[in-house]
Amino acid sequence: MAKGNGLSAGGAPQKAPWRSPRERAERGRAARKKVPRSSHADFGPAPERVDPVDVIEEQSAARVQELIPIRYGRMIESPFRFYRGAAAIMAGDLASTPDTGISAQLCGDAHLMNFRLLGSPERQLVFDINDFDETLPGPWEWDVKRLATSLVIAGRENGYSAKVRAGIVRSTVGAYRARMRAFAEMGNLEVWYARGDMEQLKAVANQRLSTRGRGRVRKAMAKARTRDSVQAFEKLTELQGGERRFVADPPLIVPIDDLLQGAERDGLIRELHELVDRYAQSISAERRHLLSQYRVVDIARKVVGVGSVGTRCWILLLLGKDDEDPLILQAKEADHSVLAAYVGKSLFDNQGQRVVTGQRLMQAVGDMFLGWDRVKGLDGRQRDFYVRQLHDWKGILVPQVMVPKGMQVFGELCGQTLARAHARSGDRIAIASYLGSGNTFDIALSEFAESYADQNEHDHAALVTATQTGRVKATAA
């Protein structure tokens, strides 16, 4: 699928045969004949569709079992929360939908909550994609469909009418299409340097949003700048016997001293200390030098996200110049992408490297401490991890408080951002040519998103029933 697109199966850039812009545009037009743009409107569950609860349970089997009820408890809260944890289910469904045959590096979980404010190493606030646990090359339209459906599900939760929801999706997909067509006219370096900075976001907010909407954007931006290692340090740690330690908040945060004792505790601490030393080889030399000036002083297990609950995740407290110079790293387990069964396994043997490579390819700016490693657990199994800062100017615009106009503007920003991410890795000229200047694809995806939102509600209800009958156990946390 990725042949000739400059992507290997694992997301690593490779030398592709040079094609002229005209040849690339013709490729996009030819894909229209094979897969008409209107055909993307269709969705119906395949006759052999796997039970959605079986899919979720299969994922859960390899995770920390004592945390799985928290995952189910979060997923049954609402169809939107369920959707956030159901990327594996949707991957199987997308595999049966029309495929243009044009690949890009996929986020793999491009729902609207995975677009947010982030800090660049130059300490500028940008708007970008945040979650890459499922990243792999695949059909570019899969990411767009996941984004579009998330907007419909969120719109339903907010009580928007079907007409309003359709307008939001069409605007979002239209923004993706328009931005991709603009990227098709740009040079390679111009595409690579593109980013969504805050001046652009503020200008859009001032032109399109109400006074209240502009206020929420400013508040989110101001809050994002406070969410860094210092803020996490003050919130998550305290002095214990004159030394900084993580504060216990079980089961969400459990310090390693409360989790294990004796030789098991000492062995895991030693392995995680070594992880920091080994993972440093995956970051650049100057950043490795900076990291070497910090020392690990405490470790805790942390529960993260919705779909990720149960994966092994450690937070590590490091101190630098003195006890008031913190750096908090998060080491999160990386398993095989949910897309792998449908687009092919990653080129990378280490799944942490798969995540990091995909993130570096798709994000305009990235965490300066982003890297990967492999750890041997107490059970003797080797597991892959990727490492990043716990907080680095992260901010989010909450969909539950958005009015329709606000969600439309937000959706357009997400669509433009996703187009930029795909343009960096995929054939932007072929994609733009396939999409064209009309709104046929936009309309098709608004219909697809409504149909898949219906399916998501059925799947959510199936998990709720499974908890009620005792098939699975759910715990609120």
- Whether residue 25 lies inside any domain: the answer is yes
Query: For residue 247, what are the domain limits?
Result: 229-389
Give 6's DSSP letter: T
Whole-number Cα distances in Å, 269 to 181, 204, 272: 51, 48, 5
Q: What is the pLDDT of residue 96?
A: 95
CA distance 340 to 86: 15
- Whether residue 8 lies inside any domain: the answer is no
Last residue of a domain, one of 325, 356, 389: 389
Q: What is the pLDDT of residue 470?
A: 97
On whether both 119 and 220 belong to a single domain, the answer is: yes
Burial class (CB in 10 A: 0-12, 13-18, 19+), 289: exposed
Last residue of a domain, one of 361, 389, 417: 389
> One digit per residue, pLDDT tens: the chain, 477 residues?
333 345 555 555 556 678 999 999 999 999 999 999 999 999 999 999 999 999 999 999 999 999 999 999 999 999 999 999 999 999 999 999 999 999 999 999 999 999 988 877 667 788 899 899 999 999 999 999 999 999 999 999 999 999 999 999 999 999 999 999 999 999 999 999 998 766 666 677 777 777 877 777 777 767 767 666 677 888 899 999 889 999 999 999 999 999 989 988 998 899 999 999 999 999 999 999 999 999 999 999 999 888 899 899 999 999 999 998 999 999 999 999 999 999 999 999 999 999 999 999 999 888 899 999 998 876 778 999 999 998 766 667 778 888 899 999 999 999 999 999 999 999 999 999 999 999 999 999 999 999 999 999 999 999 999 999 999 999 987
Q: What is the pLDDT of residue 2?
A: 37
Q: What is the pLDDT of residue 434?
A: 98
Q: Which of 383, 297, 311, 338 is nearest to 64 (CA)?
A: 311
On whether both 216 and 236 belong to a single domain, the answer is: no
Token code pair at residue 260: 């294990």
Helices (H), 61-98: 68-75, 79-84, 87-94
Using an 8 Å Cβ cutoff, are 391 and 228 in contact? yes
* Contacting residues for 442 by C-beta, under 8 A, at least 6 apart: 169, 170, 173, 174, 177
Helix, strand, coil % in the chain, rounded to nearest 5: 50, 15, 35
On whether both 67 and 144 belong to a single domain, the answer is: yes
- Whether residue 15 lies inside any domain: the answer is no
On whether both 201 and 266 belong to a single domain, the answer is: no
On whether both 236 and 220 belong to a single domain, the answer is: no
On whether both 47 and 173 belong to a single domain, the answer is: yes
Using an 8 Å Cβ cutoff, are 308 and 113 in contact? no
Residue 99 φ then ψ, to 5°: -125, 120
- Whether residue 454 lies inside any domain: the answer is yes
Q: At what angle do helices 140-157 and 440-468 cross, to 10 degrees?
A: 60
Using an 8 Å Cβ cutoff, are 125 and 117 in contact? yes
- Whether residue 142 lies inside any domain: the answer is yes
CA distance 388 to 393: 13
Q: What is the pLDDT of residue 10?
A: 54
On whether both 49 and 165 belong to a single domain, the answer is: yes
On whether both 383 and 403 belong to a single domain, the answer is: no
What type of residue is 422? H
- Whether residue 474 lies inside any domain: the answer is no
Q: What is the pLDDT of residue 349?
A: 95
On whether both 333 and 420 belong to a single domain, the answer is: no
On whether both 216 and 245 belong to a single domain, the answer is: no
Token code pair at residue 274: 């070594």
On whether both 128 and 215 belong to a single domain, the answer is: yes
Q: What is the pLDDT of residue 414?
A: 95
Helices (H), 320-439: 340-343, 351-362, 404-425, 428-435
On whether both 415 and 451 belong to a single domain, the answer is: yes
- Whether residue 416 lies inside any domain: the answer is yes
Please state the pTM of the whole predicted model: 0.92
CA distance 116 to 193: 19
Last residue of a domain, one of 328, 363, 389: 389
Q: What is the pLDDT of residue 307?
A: 84
- Whether residue 12 lies inside any domain: the answer is no
Number of domains the chain contains? 2
